[in-house]
Structure formats: structure tokens, C-alpha cells
Amino acid sequence: MLQGASEHISFVFHGSIFTHIDGLAHVFWQGQMYNGRSSALVKSGEGATVQTSDVMRDGILTRGVLLDVARLKGRTTLDPEDYVFPEDLEAAEAAQGVRVEEGDVLLLRVGYGAQIEAAAASGEPPPEEFSGYNAACLPWLHERGVALIGSDVFTDHAPVGHYAETMMPMHQVAIPMMGLRLIDNAHLERLGEACAERNRWEFCFSLNPLRFAQGTGSPANPIATF
């Protein structure tokens, strides 16, 4: 008779499936990390030796704001080519009666979670193309002084490659140039419903990454508390 059970779990969390947070050693620009640190300081055998995800080991706690651009436009989900621009963020602020401030975590909902749920119910793979932040949002995010951004997609829209100099402008500008960490693939369907029911789009945001000493990021379970 069995006396118990256990398991070994291993996965690659970076990408467009798992909810995770990107650390500052995850993406480089012209051989450099944030603050000019060499990308050579991330090694295949040792992992990240500087700017690791372990600096977040005690967790993140701050004000969170959800901007539901899909709901703003009366859509279940935005089309892949329907990129989100600064004017969309400001229109969502005005419609929701909230303003993104310095130190906030900004979460953007484009409705991709609804597509994932529909695909799972039908046994089909989720769509490989989706909306997301347009690179024009980067100066806006810098001006607002947000501490962290996230979305229900890969942050960059897909397909990527619309720019001559970079494949992933949100990742390759926000992380190595701005020192801005990203939450990819957050599940925002229930949060969007909860915010709409309360007509309240701000909340206490918390996130506790796993303690990876040389990590470039971590799986994450962000929580909104009203």
C-alpha cells in the first residue's frame, strides 16, 4: 500500500505560456544589461552572476492598476494587429476613473486569456498571434514612473519583428535600458471581472518570486487584493 506521493517538476517558464516575471539579466541590448553590465556575466553553467531575480526574493508589494483596453473597446479580446498605444492607456484611465502613478504596477488586459480558455475547452492550441503594448508606450511608461508592468500576453505583441533594430522592443528597451521588470502571461480575466463588478480598478498588488540565486526571472503568482 502506498504511503504517499511526490513529483519532480521542471519547465522553461520564459516564453508566452507560463505567468512569470522577467529579471534584469533576462534580455540584453548590444551585449549589455541594465546599467551597462556585460551580458557575458550571464553564463550557461552558472546562470546570472549579477542583476539576478533573487533581488526580488522578499517579494513585491505596491499599488496595482488594471487598464482593461479590451473592455474599453467593447471586445472580448483585441485582434493581433490592434496594438495598444499611449492614447489607449489614457482612454482607459479616463473611462475607469483611475490614473497610473509613480511606483505602480500597471497591468494591461487585451483579452488573450479568454482565447486561451476557449482553446483549452476545445482541445486546440492557443493562438500564436496576439495584441500587446506598442513600443510607443515606452516613453509614456517612463514618464509615469511605473515600477513594473504586466499583461495577459507576452508584453510585446506577436508576431514580433516589425522594427528594424529589435525583435522585441518592449523587452529590449524596458529591461536593459529602463531597468523595468515585466510580468508576462498574467491571468487577467477574473481580475477584469472583479474590477468591473466593483467599478474599482486599483488594488493592493503582491508577488513572491521563487528564490533562484542565479535566476534570470521566476514563475510568478501575482495577487490583487481589494
CATH of the domain at 120: 3.50.30.50
The amino acid occupying position 74 is G
Task: Let me know if residue 79 belongs to a domain.
Answer: yes
pLDDT at 8: 87
pTM of the model: 0.93
Asked, for residue 215, whether it belongs to a domain, the answer is yes
In this prediction, residue 117 carries a pLDDT of: 86
What local confidence, expressed as pLDDT, does residue 141 receive? Answer: 98
Angle between helix 137-144 and 86-96 (nearest 10): 50
Residue 124 lies in a domain: yes
Alpha carbon distance, N-terminus to C-terminus of the chain: 46
* Residue 173 located in a structural domain: yes
- Tally of domains in the chain: 1
Q: Is residue 8 part of a domain?
A: no
Identify the sign of the CA torsion 189, 183, 75, 114: negative
Matching residue, cell 540565486: 213
Q: Residue 119: what pLDDT?
A: 84
Residue 2 included in any domain: no
166 occurs within a structural domain: yes
Helix (H) or strand (E) holding 91: helix 86-96
- The per-residue pLDDT for 161 is 62
Spans in the chain with pLDDT lower than 50: none
Strands 223-225 and 202-207 come out as antiparallel
Residue 4 lies in a domain: no
Residue 79 belongs to domain spanning: 20-225
Q: What is the pLDDT of residue 116?
A: 84
